[in-house]
Amino acid sequence: MMAVKGMTIHQAAVRPAPLVDPFGRAITYLRVSATDRCDFRCVYCMAENMAFLPKQDLLTLEELDRVCSAFVTRGVRKLRITGGEPLVRRGIMGLFESLGRHLRAGMLDELTLTTNGSQLAKYAASLKACGVERVNVSLDTLDPDKFRAVTRWGDLGKVMAGIDAAQAAGLKVKINTVALRDVNEDELPHLVAWAHGRAMDITLIEVMPLGDIGDARLDQYLPLSLVRARLGERFTLEDIDYRTGGPARYVRVQETGGRLGFITPLTHNFCESCNRVRLTCTGTLYMCLGQEDAADLRTPLRMSESNGLLDAAIESAIARKPKGHDFVIDRRHRRPSLSRHMSVTGG
């Protein structure tokens, strides 16, 4: 029989039984924070003087590959590399290159990333060569001064060059925009028209109460129900069935023909169809973005060169996946409902 990367065709075609949680949800999607570091300091995400993890606490790229591959062996079909900013981790393209083997073997449907775009001009062509087809680029404003104010350290020109390079390399780009009261709320119709004019979907995200950022997120919170109503005055929004397996709900904007998504963790619950878990760069597995319970995968990973202990730890973690989260923006205490930052768990 012919071999495909060390496997027979017969073996390559066999789909392993997926990991299934106590609520019958198959876990087919792993998000991996490759680093907690970032070259931006978005005001709703990080404090300016963030303390980052010591480098020795991080999984090496080889260890990240090993954990990802263990999940792929157990039926995960989609990997998203995120952060922090994944493209600032030294050697990160080596991880994409090595994970690309699972695409070629038919074990993985998608390898993708979420990025702030600052390094995309450098890496877009290599990402495409590794088998990446789509990237999510986070972008909250098209105004260079506002962009600098929101990201504290970012340069809009570099992100635009990154988006250009990604499209030129043949990557499909989706824009993610956090809706921020008094910051970009007036600009959202323009952002939608701009994204659709460049053949990019755009998803709007509500601010989530994750991580202490030094000032109250209540001031930034803008309910998407309101945003949607306002966009509805400007555009004709048509509900569509399109799903990416994620929490976004989509509409078609009739005037542009483009797709617009809404992620509303605070005003709607999207847990019943949750198919994902999240791995931090230190090897901690969070079974829910909005709950504290987590499993340490680094210890079993490092205790043995074979994957028996790791597999057992993954199984017992999935058996504890909670039914859902209960984020609240705590109006009384003005505190985040979870102390860890999005940059730790991976956005």
Binding-site ranges for ligand SAM (CB under 6 A) = 38, 42, 44-45, 82-83, 85, 114-116, 138, 176, 178, 205, 207-208, 210, 342-343, 347
Task: Output the smallest distance, CB 309 to ligand SAM, in A.
Answer: 30
For residue 33, list its beta bridge partners: 82
Task: Output the smallest distance, CB 251 to ligand SAM, in A.
Answer: 20
Indicate the SS3 state at residue 309: helix
Task: Output the smallest distance, CB 226 to ligand SAM, in A.
Answer: 16
Cβ distance to ligand SAM smaller for residue 283 or 336: 336
- Tokens 């570099």 locate to 158
Residues 6+ apart with CB under 8 A from 14: none
Tokens at residue 30, please?
């792993």
Cβ distance to ligand SAM smaller for residue 116 or 307: 116
Cβ distance to ligand SAM smaller for residue 106 or 245: 245
Task: Output the smallest distance, CB 267 to ligand SAM, in A.
Answer: 13
Cβ distance to ligand SAM smaller for residue 69 or 176: 176
Which residue is at the shortest CB distance from ligand SAM? 347
Distance in angstroms (rounded) separating the CA atoms of residues 54 and 75: 32
How far is the CA of 211 from the CAs of 192, 216, 291, 342, 344, in angstroms? 28, 11, 12, 7, 9
Task: Output the smallest distance, CB 345 to ligand SAM, in A.
Answer: 8
Cβ distance to ligand SAM smaller for residue 69 or 220: 220
How far is the CA of 293 from the CAs of 208, 210, 229, in angstroms? 18, 15, 36
Task: Output the smallest distance, CB 29 to ligand SAM, in A.
Answer: 15
Cβ distance to ligand SAM smaller for residue 162 or 300: 162
Long-range contacts of 2-8 (CB under 8 A, 24+ apart): 4/104, 4/105, 4/106, 5/101, 5/104, 5/105, 7/105
Give the strand pairing for 201-205 and 172-178: parallel
